[in-house]
Chain A
Amino acid sequence: GEDVEQSLFLSVREGDSSVINCTYTDSSSTYLYWYKQEPGAGLQLLTYIFSNMDMKQDQRLTVLLNKKDKHLSLRIADTQTGDSAIYFCAERDVDTGRRALTFGSGTRLQVQP
């Protein structure tokens, strides 16, 4: 089955760039997602990318995909204290009949003033 892995913690200073990394295992064409969870809240979709793409940019967010290494990253430019949250990488199930996502364990981003 699918397996998605992330590092657990990242600390950056306000104004710096943050890079959150993720590896996935599915080798077929799929969609990959980034979600953000603020304390006490549900998950909020940030962006997603299809596995035949290399990069996607959306304002301060840049997603990079290395298909050969099955490595996905989320770069946040000019990181702000409001970006402090848990970030989840997710992969759409191979069994697309379920339309479910498999999530990594989440990376906690701490932004220091």
Chain B
Amino acid sequence: DAGITQSPRHKVTETGTPVTLRCHQTENHRYMYWYRQDPGHGLRLIHYSYGVKDTDKGEVSDGYSVSRSKTEDFLLTLESATSSQTSVYFCAISERGRPSSGANVLTFGAGSRLTVL
């Protein structure tokens, strides 16, 4: 168990308000990710982090920012929420697969459902 906790699990907000989602992990993993899940699109990468203060954009980063001031916490911020950002947001960490393989696997949190009215 990678010990990933997302908060809040559910949030309803209004257009134009700022929103911050938090991802907390307990096992000191270096790589962390934020994905969003929308019907017909699967999961799409928003931002990722490869260490404290080291972050980079994914494919759908417009309108989002992230911060990682501690290894265990990765924050996703919507500076001014829009209805198109209504989605389910998943945090994930990367960890090694079977010891003999070169694979990494992503382990996901339970998700945060955000509704922007």
Residues of A within 8 A of B45 (CB): 100, 102
Residues of B within 8 A of A60 (CB): none
Residues of B within 8 A of A106 (CB): 42
Proximity bits, A42-54, B CB within 8 Å = 1, else 0: 1111001010000
Residues of A within 8 A of B (CB): 1, 4, 8, 31, 33, 41-45, 48, 50, 88, 92, 97-106
Classify the interface of chain A: helix, strand, loop or mixed: strand
Q: Are A99 and B104 in contact (CB under 8 A)?
A: yes
Q: A105 vs B39: C-alpha distance in the bound complex, in angstroms?
A: 8
Given A42-B90, A99-B31; A50-B103 close (CB under 8 Å): yes
Q: A102 vs B101: C-alpha distance in the bound complex, in angstroms?
A: 20
Number of A-B contacts (CB under 8 A): 57
**How distant is A97 from chain B, measured CB to nearest CB, in Å?**
8
Q: B67-117: which have CB < 8 Å to A? A: 90, 94, 97, 101-111
Q: Are B105 and A88 in contact (CB under 8 A)?
A: no
**How distant is A1 from chain B, measured CB to nearest CB, in Å?**
8
Q: A1 vs B31: C-alpha distance in the bound complex, in angstroms?
A: 21
Residues of B within 8 A of A8 (CB): 40
5 A-B contacts (beta carbon < 8 Å) = A44-B108, A48-B105, A50-B101, A88-B43, A100-B33
Q: A45 vs B58: C-alpha distance in the bound complex, in angstroms?
A: 21
